[in-house]
Amino acid sequence: MKRDFLRVFDLTQNEVSGILIRASELKSGVDKMKCPLIGKSIGLLFEKPSTRTRVSFDTGIYQMGGHPVYMTPQELQLGRGETIEDTARTLSRYLDAIVIRTSSHEKLIRFSEASTIPVINGLSDLHHPCQALADLLTIMEKKGKLKGLKIAYIGDGNNVANSLIEAAALTEMNITIACPEGYEPDGEVLERAREISSSEIVIVRDPKEAAGMAHVIYTDVWVSMGQEKQAEEKKRHFKGYQINSSLLQCARPDAIVMHCLPAHRGEEITDEVIDGTQSVVFDQAENRLHVQKALLEFLLQKKD
Ligand code: CP
Ligand code: NVA
């Protein structure tokens, strides 16, 4: 049976631990000469722009001996009306796995149901699970553990927040989300996360309350890709939700600052904070490469 990775909850707690351990091993350089993807082609179907996801998958696949095939819908018959299902059935005959970045999680599910190869979510409107795996590895590296830590996520209850909640739930971290009314994370994600874990998952309005005693302060853009029309309205609503020095002072003195990037400097985070000593954003970005290599190894070994 093929395994997909459309959301963090597609993996068990043990599988997440295994992927993090393997990612650290790969990062350390052991198995550098092993090429588990020799002879395999991995599709990268991107409906939206990307720097980190695209380049880290492309490079990681190359490092593992595989062949990355980058595609956009405009360059495929998909852009001329071929159905998602027919595209999925066809690409399954050529590729060994596919990474998809799309505006609609529904489309990802349709693709996955019609395909016979593992489908990896490279960001949808609802989830960004590869980002969350990299976030876990980064927190583990910086704090030496995950269980019992407190994450304060300040900002929009978006795809990144949803995946972070699922990641926290699976690793027994507590997470407090500070967001304006109407911008809460997805209801089904919250419900399932609370059902399966003993982590504290709390929504508050006051960023300072969220930041209090936090080990990790995390944010993402206020205006996600595809939300450009709502930009002015969202910026108004999120005005008090910036991570700046004064907010950072509410967290633990050794708190780390995280951002999935790209950042809109001066909006959700100040230059001073993102460039400051507590910021780990580029380690976080690097870790996309290592966790995704471990993920590919895991998903493809399952298929064989
Ligand atoms: N964090 C992240 O997914 O970045 P990109 O949009 O550059 O891929
Ligand atoms: N929430 C952002 C994340 C980008 C990596 C977006 O969807 O645009």
Question: 302 versus 183: which is more confidently predicted?
Answer: 183
Same domain, 148 and 274: yes
Which residues surround ligand 2 with Cβ inside 6 Å?
Answer: 123, 158-160, 220-221, 224-225, 260
Across-strand partners of 243?
A: 269
- Number of structural domains (the chain) is 2
Contacts of 254 (CB under 8 A, 6+ apart): 215, 278
Which residue has its alpha carbon closest to ligand 1 atom 7? 51
Q: 261 CA to middle of ligand 1, Å?
A: 6
Same domain, 144 and 66: no
Same domain, 252 and 236: yes
pLDDT value, residue 233 = 97
Same domain, 136 and 121: no
Lowest mean pLDDT among 31-40, 44-53, 91-100, 226-235: 31-40
Q: At 173, which CATH number?
A: 3.40.50.1370
Report the atom number in ligand 2 closest to the C-alpha of 261.
5
Reported pTM = 0.98
Structural domain including 186 reads 130-284
Q: 141 CA to middle of ligand 1, Å?
A: 21
pLDDT digits (tens, 9 = 90+) for 239-287: 999 999 999 999 999 999 999 999 999 999 999 999 999 999 999 999 9
The set of catalytic residues is 101, 128, 131, 220, 260, 288
Strands of the sheet with 216-219, listed across from one edge: 201-204, 174-178, 150-154, 216-219, 256-259
Q: Which residue has the tokens 């990612």?
A: 23
pLDDT digits (tens, 9 = 90+) for 75-125: 999 999 999 999 999 999 999 999 999 999 999 999 999 999 999 999 999
Distance (Å, rounded) from C-alpha 269 to C-alpha 190? 25
